Amino acid sequence: MTKQKIVFIIRDLGYGGAQRQLITLAKNLDKEKFDIIVIFFYPDGFLQKDLEDAGIQSICLEKRERWDIFKFLWRLFGYLQRIQPDFLHGYLSESNLLTILLKPFFPSTFIFWGIRDSNISFDSYDWLDRLIFELECLLSHFVDQIIVNSHAGQTYHLSHGFPANKMLVIPNGIDTERFQPDLEAGLVVRTEWGILKDTILIGLIGRLDPMKDHPTFLKAAALLCKEREDVHFVCVGTGSQNYGQELYQLVKELGIAEKVIWAGGRADMPAIYNALDITCSSSSYGEGFSNVIGEAMACGVPCIVTDVGDSAWIIGDTGVVVPPSNPEALKTGITSLINIMSSENYSHCRIRERIISHFSVLNLSLKTENALLSQTLS
């Protein structure tokens, strides 16, 4: 059987959910069927090493800044001319647009889009982001296949004119070999942060971005601190420095600066999850399929989530769901989850089992392979 060449295109290989999912997929597609190449725009991608270690070719286009366009496009076109891919698979909006704009030059190449979000709010984004989304909506009908990682994302994009007959939901795959219970690794991190054994550590993991709604998490933390002293909180992730300063100031105003750890970006995520007693996802919009929820659950960590995207579907009956942008509801939900965890019948194993059963890497890779190969048969 002749191997099919598939080129994935993504903006960067930094520590992001889409980036990690792309690498997981690239590593697990059948190498007997596919030659895989990952092309990314910007240098200094921390996750590039993961591809190198897996023997997967990656190409950086050395884009310098937003308006470095013509040389960047020329380099991309040159690489694709040499590769002559059978499939061109974009990940996220900028990359999706590029793939369809390249279609006239590669008429025999199948174009795939990867949609990773839902319920987008453009209040925190600029005019270019809005324009890119509008162009995506217009050009989506010319794509061969659109893979969405959440049912919420599918519903949202359908409501904006995306073609139903070209959309396919394939949930994220969670690497349960990497993300698994590891009490020892968790204790190392807790010691690093000065967290005592009996302290309940509640974490929000995600970039510092309005979409993740850190303010609601922090306000809920302040409310909880008024009721109990055995809680501590950690925020893991990086983002805009200005937005970060706003959050630091909010913590001071709430009077909980000594209760909140700002951990920044971390590479040792399995250990981070295992250090937590509860993982919180307080997103107010935009989530499709949250990797953080899936990874935490794979480590046996219970989650409290806002009812945004597919978060409620991911946790099923293993955690607590609350409405978004409601600190009081989030505080009450955390209290409820703490009480559930203290019951005799509580089981961490059941949390992990849900991820193994419903959101495996094997499921991700097999469904993606079927979607790719079905195009060659049609």
Q: Domains plus CATH for the chain? A: 4-173+360-377 (3.40.50.2000), 183-358 (3.40.50.2000)
Q: What is the pLDDT of residue 68?
A: 84
Quote the tokens at residue 144. Answer: 């061969």
CA gap 110, 227 in Å, rounded = 57
Q: What is the pLDDT of residue 17?
A: 81
Query: Which CA distances in Å does 17 have to 53, 117, 206, 293?
Result: 19, 11, 9, 11
Q: What is the pLDDT of residue 267?
A: 85
Phi–psi pair at 287, nearest 5 degrees: -65, 140
CA gap 142, 153 in Å, rounded = 19
Q: What is the pLDDT of residue 126?
A: 78
Which stretches within the chain are classed as H helix?
Answer: 17-28, 48-53, 70-83, 93-102, 127-139, 151-158, 183-193, 214-225, 241-254, 269-275, 291-298, 311-315, 327-341, 348-358, 361-377
Q: Which helix (H) or strand (E) element contains residue 174?
A: none
pLDDT in tens, the chain (378 residues): 689 999 999 999 987 788 989 999 999 999 999 999 999 999 988 888 899 999 999 999 999 888 888 899 999 999 999 999 999 999 999 999 999 999 999 999 999 999 998 877 766 667 888 898 999 999 999 999 999 999 999 999 999 999 999 999 999 999 999 999 999 999 999 999 999 999 999 999 999 999 999 999 999 999 999 999 999 999 999 998 999 999 999 999 999 999 999 999 898 999 999 999 999 999 998 888 999 999 999 999 999 999 999 999 999 999 999 999 999 999 999 999 999 998 878 889 999 999 999 999 999 999 999 999 998 886
Q: Are 137 and 166 in contact (CB under 8 A)?
A: no
CA gap 86, 132 in Å, rounded = 25
Q: Are 38 and 58 in contact (CB under 8 A)?
A: yes
Cβ partners under 8 Å of residue 104, min gap 6: none
- pTM of the prediction? 0.88
Q: What is the pLDDT of residue 140?
A: 96
Q: What is the pLDDT of residue 128?
A: 84
